[in-house]
Copies of this chain bind each other. A is one copy, B any other.
Amino acid sequence: MSPFAPRRSASVAALGEARLIAAIGRWLGGTVPPSPAGIGDDCAVLPVARGRRLITVDPVVYGRHFDAKVPPAAVGAKLLKRNLSDIAAMGGKPEAAVVSLLLDRKVSRAWLEAFHRGLAACARQYRVRIVGGDVAEAPGVLAATLTLVGSAGKRVLTRRGARAGDAIYVTGALGGSLDSGHHHAFAPRLAEGAWLAGRDEVRAMMDVSDGLLKDLGALIPSRARAELAIDALPLRFGASKEAALSEGEDYELLFALGGRADAGAFERAWRRRFPQTLLSRIGRFEAAGRGSAGTLSWGPYFGYDLIRTRDLHGYEHLR
């Protein structure tokens, strides 16, 4: 479905800002609490929280994160789920979101309605309230930016904390996200993230969104390097190893398990708790001298034929 209307009468310009905002309120329905907790004032009021709060922001941009082939409801859901994946990666629980829309005058009303209904359905599923937003005109643009606030669990699991000797794990499968539709159909790993943050033997975590090789760089401890067992990579159906290493939009959790932890017991506990979610041990962090610290290596399986991966990269924006 094209996001752009064939004639003015079917566009947001025909609606105008005031009626568009009223329509957005209807499309979002019960996910918007009454003002001042929701849309309709200068700010929205967030409910009182006991502990620390998390905040993250991610957009969807036409031509970049979606095109006319992705159903608009799936684009709305993807906007929220990209941010949910970030909350999951810190072991948090999502609460409330604000949405900023940049719209060309030609954007189709019907497209925008389906987008918002998809966003609302996803918000209901994950119990997120849409508490505010903004609409601005921007020629040639269709983009939505969502800021998500969540509550942190007892422990905020960050990207820092891995050590040499730790095992590297990833949830689900990697690669082929765009071809398979996974990039919008994925389920953010919220339950898994919260469970992992509650396990002391898990030392660092992040989500894989720009490709495993690029993202893993952020987890590598200082004075260490990462070794990946290429044959242990969980490939999405039809995806190559190269795709799994570098394509991105996987929205899976990548984490380090303490080197002295009982990996077998940990994996059994995982399978009991998440029998449906694949978990793969794909490598380890190894102590390294100055020359190879911070680098990634990979071989067919653990400890054999390690090759430096300086020339393999994940998805880098603006390149």
Contacts and interface: CB of A to CB of B under 8 A. Distances in A.
Interface string A22-53: 00000000000001100011111111110111
20 contacts: A18-B316, A35-B160, A36-B90, A41-B90, A42-B90, A43-B86, A43-B92, A43-B150, A44-B56, A46-B54, A46-B55, A48-B51, A49-B49, A56-B98, A57-B99, A58-B134, A61-B136, A105-B318, A135-B318, A145-B145
User: What is the total number of copies of this protein in its complex?
Assistant: 2
A101 to B, nearest CB: 9
Interface of A: 12-13, 15-18, 20, 35-36, 40-49, 51-59, 61, 63-65, 85-87, 89-90, 92, 96, 98-100, 102-103, 105, 131-141, 143, 145, 147, 149-150, 152, 156, 158-160, 206-207, 316-319
Given A136-B317, A316-B16, A44 B35 contact: no
A239 to B, nearest CB: 23
Contacts of A90: 36, 41-43, 45
* Interface-central residue, A40, A86, A143, by most chain B CB under 10 Å: A143
Contacts of A18: 316
B318 A12 contact: yes
A56 B43 contact: yes
Contacts of A63: 138-139
Q: What DSSP secondary structure best describes chain A's contact surface?
A: mixed
A35 B61 CA distance: 27
A35 B160 CA distance: 9
Nearest to A144: B145
A18 to B, nearest CB: 6
Contacts of A207: 42
B55 A158 contact: no
A65 to B, nearest CB: 8
A8 to B, nearest CB: 11
Given A43-B56, A57-B100, A98-B147, 13 more contacts: A16-B318, A17-B317, A17-B318, A17-B319, A41-B90, A42-B206, A43-B90, A45-B90, A45-B152, A46-B54, A46-B55, A55-B96, A57-B145
Nearest to A140: B140
Contacts of A12: 318
A56 B74 CA distance: 25
B318 A55 contact: no
Contact of A140 (B40, B53, B59, B141): B141
